[in-house]
């Protein structure tokens, strides 16, 4: 299906539509035009520290964009829906921030931070309040029970003013090195976010386009879900990487503006 016929656009945010607090040129116009032609945009992000409401506020106050909470498929949101579906009211032991725990509970997951007899799973998220005590508790669970282990997102590091700090994937690596066990990740490149957006929007996989700046998360996620993908060279990926990658996007553009032009024809 041609770009001009696509209806469901699933955008990565950082490095794709915006860099830090700056919206990239023509992002706003592209989002408006998608809506004007009866399409829909969703924002798929591995960041598990912000809730859907946090993102609505950020889009309004920082970018001047109006968005609805359900347009944000964050890794904490998809984790919540998946855990709720799989384990119902049973308790899930969570290593994560207070905001992750609140988001899980809001969507009906019985998130706990202490041992319970009805524990059904362990979830690890990006945790800026991580302590050695939490790591010990998770290590004990992983070695003394057969509970399934999930994690919000596989990213190893996230940007900081001086370089990088450990993200969820790096915390999980520590637990894997310790226990020999491996988590199942909910965030990109797993296909779950794409499936969820297709289900919620009512559009078809053929009408869907995943747009991102990273090959091994954004583009891989679209490929895993069996939908068309578009790489923008506005963030992490370079032309050199594109030549050698196993994650080959359907489309590639240098800028948001170039994608916008291509969507018109
Ligand atoms: Mg990105």
Same domain, 160 and 94: yes
Say how far apart CA 33 and CA 160 lie, in whole Å.
34
Quote the Cα angle for 16-200-254, to 5°. Answer: 15
Q: How far is the CA of 256 from the centre of ligand 1 (A)?
A: 13
List the CATH number of the domain containing 193: 3.40.50.1000
Domain presence at residue 169: yes
Distance from Cα 42 to the centre of ligand 1, integer Å: 14
Distance 235 CA to ligand 1 centre (A): 6
- Asked if 215 and 174 sit in the same domain, the reply is no
- The alpha carbon of 90 and the centre of ligand 1 are apart by a number of angstroms equal to 34
Pair 8, 41 in one domain:
yes
pLDDT of residue 233: 96
Distance 59 CA to ligand 1 centre (A): 16
Q: Is residue 79 in a domain?
A: no
Task: Say if residue 33 is in the same domain as residue 104.
Answer: no
Q: What is the pLDDT along the chain (265 residues), one digit of tens a residue?
A: 899 999 999 999 999 999 989 999 999 999 999 999 999 999 999 988 888 999 999 999 999 999 999 999 999 999 999 999 999 999 999 999 998 999 999 999 999 999 999 999 999 999 999 999 999 999 999 999 999 999 999 999 887 889 889 999 999 999 999 999 999 999 999 999 999 999 999 999 999 999 999 999 999 999 999 999 999 999 989 999 999 999 999 999 999 999 999 999 7
* Distance in Å, CA 104 to ligand 1 centroid: 24
What's the pLDDT score for residue 82? 96
Does residue 61 lie within any of the structural domains? no
Statement to judge: residues 105 and 176 lie in one domain: yes
Whether 64 is covered by a domain: the verdict is no
- The residue among 150, 185, 220 that closes a domain is 185
Query: What distance in angstroms lies between residue 19's CA and the mean position of ligand 1's atoms?
Result: 9
As for how many domains the chain has, the answer is: 2
Closest CA to 27 of 60, 52, 63: 63
Q: Clarify whether residues 164 and 216 are in a common domain.
A: no
Residues 205 and 172 in one domain: no
Q: How far is the CA of 198 from the centre of ligand 1 (A)?
A: 20
Gap from CA of 167 to ligand 1 centroid (Å): 14
Whether residue 51 lies inside any domain: the answer is no
Question: How big is the chain by its Cα radius of gyration, in Å?
Answer: 19
Domain extent for 203: 3-46+188-263
Q: Kindly state whether residues 146 and 193 are assigned to the same domain.
A: no
């Amino acid at each position: 299906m041609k770009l001009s016929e696509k209806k469901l656009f699933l955008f990565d945010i950082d490095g794709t539509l915006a860099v830090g607090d700056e919206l990239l040129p023509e992002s706003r116009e592209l989002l408006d035009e998608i809506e004007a032609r009866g399409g829909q945009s969703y924002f798929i992000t591995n960041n598990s520290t912000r809730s859907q409401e946090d993102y609505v506020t950020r889009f309004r106050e920082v970018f001047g964009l109006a968005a609805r909470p359900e347009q944000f498929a964050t890794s904490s949101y998809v984790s919540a829906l998946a855990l709720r579906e799989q384990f119902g009211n049973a308790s899930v032991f969570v290593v994560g921030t207070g905001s992750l725990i609140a988001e899980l509970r809001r969507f009906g997951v019985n998130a706990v931070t202490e041992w319970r007899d009805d524990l059904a799973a362990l979830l690890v998220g990006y945790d800026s309040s991580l302590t050695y005590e939490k790591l010990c508790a998770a290590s004990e669970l992983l070695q003394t029970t057969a509970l399934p282990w999930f994690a919000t997102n596989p990213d190893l590091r996230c940007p900081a003013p001086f370089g990088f700090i450990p993200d969820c994937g790096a915390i999980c690596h520590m637990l894997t090195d310790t226990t020999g066990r491996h988590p199942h990740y909910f965030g990109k490149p797993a296909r779950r976010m794409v499936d969820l957006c297709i289900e919620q929007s009512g559009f078809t996989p053929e009408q869907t386009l995943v747009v991102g700046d990273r090959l091994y998360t954004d583009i891989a996620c679209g490929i895993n879900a069996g939908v068309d993908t578009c790489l923008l060279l506005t963030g992490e990926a370079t032309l050199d990487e594109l030549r050698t990658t196993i994650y080959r996007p359907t489309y590639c553009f240098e800028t948001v503006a170039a994608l916008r032009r291509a969507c018109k024809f």
